Amino acid sequence: MFNLFLFEYALSSLKRRGAKNIFIFVIFFILIFLLSSIFFISNSMKYELSQTVDALPDITIQKLEAGREQNIDIDRVDKLSEIPGVSEVSPRVWGYYYFKNAGANFVVVGVDRFSPNYKKSIQKVVDKFDSVIFDNNDTMIVGKGVKDILEKNYYDKYFNFIKPNGDLKKIKIAGTFKGSTVLESNDIILLSNENAREIFGMKDDEVTDITLRVPNPKEVSKIASKITIMYPDCRVITKNDLEISYNNIFDYKSGIFLSLFIVALFTFFIIIYDKSSGLSSDEKREIGVQKAVGWRIGDILLQKFYEAGILSGMAFVLSITFSIFYVYILNAPILRSVFTGYSILKPAFKLPFVVDLQTIMLIFFATVPLYIAATIVPSWFAATLDADEVIR
């Protein structure tokens, strides 16, 4: 039962109290914009993680000693490969390298250069690949962030790693990972296992951790428990554990999210309180005059519904539109620092575009109906009184 005349009247009424309504509109806009932008960023990051979770190894084995991660003896690889159901066992050498000049942490990952199809498959994710340099042992492939930092420090063709004994290890740059993988590869340096061991000062019979591939997903948990019995000093992380960890990456009940929600709700309830604590004498007089000239209670409430609906609905639509623009086209300036922190190596914040209707609905139902209700209820109290009583 849409009433165009009442709708027009509601628009005129909004215009009449322009300054106050613009203020409420702006606060409403900022509030929803902030909440939806944070939700869009966090949802996109979750989506990005979920897209690659299948490609991770089925089981990761780490050795813990006094609660700290330690290197594992390479002999365990043979015993692990004897477990029925395991198709591939990969000992890994990887770790963090702190580049003091820039204050950046690199992730150095060693690979077996002689594994089948390795060069062919790695070429697919590398830009500016130099095959001639790559065939030499002392070469590396770096992420875009690493490449930029090295270039700023005049290392455009090679980099000198400082080994634990203080000697230098010169490694040439053979290529950069593709821009499409920047969220995963930004801080990665990929080189041979031998070079990684030399840079970290690791022994030849040690590896950082071991990963397993298990073709049958139903066997993963059984194999994981077998490994726990075989090696009680090891922590076994399955792909399922990683998936659970990915799903819980953001804890909305603490940290930055809780602070944001408290501020947002507090601001919103100030608006609600202002609205629901009663009408101004002007507004009451208006309702009195409307009743005196023959308006029914239903008409008055419908007009108030249109007023609140236009104000909150427009603010909602505008803020969602702008937050999509802000997050996915402008790449969330300022707010992105909440997610990158102190990091020196900041990737291009190009997040995958995901519109989560559930989140949008959540924000909608937490704000718009509440505001409409807070406008209608006091108007209903005033409208049920006699006209002369309200005007007086």
Q: Which of residues 319-338 bind other proteins (CB under 8 A)?
A: 320-321, 324-325, 328-329, 338
Specify the stretch interacting with other proteins by CB under 8 A; choose among 5-13, 160-168, 267-275, 371-379: 5-13
The tokens for 138 are 């002392």
92 lines the binding site for other proteins (CB under 8 A):
yes
Q: Are strands 59-65 and 234-238 parallel, antiparallel or unpaired?
A: antiparallel
Q: Is 207 helix (H, G, I), strand (E, B) or coil?
A: strand
Q: Are strands 139-142 and 168-177 parallel, antiparallel or unpaired?
A: parallel
- Yes or no: say if 95 and 86 are a contact pair by the CB < 8 Å rule: no
Compute how many residues bind other proteins; rule: CB under 8 A.
98
The tokens for 371 are 């505001």
Give CA–CA dist 359/365, Å, rounded.
10
Select from 27, 34, 56, 77 the one that contacts other proteins (CB under 8 A): 56
285 lines the binding site for other proteins (CB under 8 A):
no
314 lines the binding site for other proteins (CB under 8 A):
yes
9-48 residues near other proteins, rule: CB under 8 A? 11-12, 15, 45, 48
Select from 1, 132, 229, 334 the one that contacts other proteins (CB under 8 A): 229
Output the smallest distance, CB 291 to other proteins, in A.
23
304 lines the binding site for other proteins (CB under 8 A):
no
135-154 residues near other proteins, rule: CB under 8 A? 143, 145
CA angle 117, 123, 129 (to 5 degrees): 140
Which x/- pattern over 172-191 shows residues binding other proteins (rule: CB under 8 A)? -----xx-xxxxxxxxx-x-
**Both ends of the chain: CA-CA distance in Å?**
33
Output the smallest distance, CB 391 to other proteins, in A.
26
Q: Which of 314, 313, 316, 308 is nearest to 373 (CA)?
A: 308
- Yes or no: say if 127 and 179 are a contact pair by the CB < 8 Å rule: yes
Output the smallest distance, CB 209 to other proteins, in A.
8
Give CA–CA dist 266/272, Å, rounded.
10
Which x/- pattern over 103-142 shows residues binding other proteins (rule: CB under 8 A)? -xx-x-x-x---------xx-xx-----------------
